[in-house]
Amino acid sequence: MVSKITIRPQHMTDAKRFYEILNNDNFKYFDVRPKSIEDQKIFLRANSEKRKKNIEYNYAILLNGKLIGAVGLKIQQTRKFIGEIGYFVDEEHWGKGIATKAVKLIEKIGFGKLKLKRITIVMLTVNKGSMKVAEKAGYKREGILKKGLSNFGKHKDAYLYAKTK
């Protein structure tokens, strides 16, 4: 069977699955850890307001209809023509091109519907997997952001990748 990757807006019913995925101790480079399913629901409840205010667009990543991760696009509030993509995928599906496909799908929304002119992806310099995702999706490394990301309370260097339209 051919795997089909799709994205859809996040639902409240996704809370338990996101909680499970995000609380994986092997997520070394992504430090979002909801303390409870209710905490995850609080995040999900805010999604519609963030969309209305053109702040953030969050989607579930589905593999053959099964929830396996998320991808989002955050709009820079001082330069509303720039968005930043973030994503996570359940460990069971790492290294299979799923995040790359999800990035390409949300990019179509960003450059299309949202009329962005620039989309960035920022990752820790040690996150080889995210570098591959960005490069396979056609993003170019533009530089290093010194102390550009916080990771478990420590500020660390990050690579900045971008694509323009």
Q: What is the pLDDT of residues 101-125, one digit of tens each?
A: 999 999 999 999 999 999 999 999 9
pLDDT band for 30, please (50, 70, 90 cuts): confident
Average pLDDT across the chain, whole number: 95
- Residue 42 belongs to a domain: yes
Sheet of 154-164: strand order equals: 5-9, 56-63, 66-75, 82-89, 118-124, 154-164, 140-151
Q: Quick one: pLDDT at residue 2?
A: 60
Q: Quick one: pLDDT at residue 103?
A: 98
CA distance linking residue 118 with residue 93, whole number of Å: 28
Q: Quick one: pLDDT at residue 27?
A: 86
- Residue 161 belongs to a domain: no
22 or 32: which leads in pLDDT:
22
State which residues form the domain around 38. 5-119
Q: How many domains does the chain have?
A: 1
- Residue 50 belongs to a domain: yes
**In percent, how much of the chain has pLDDT > 90?**
92
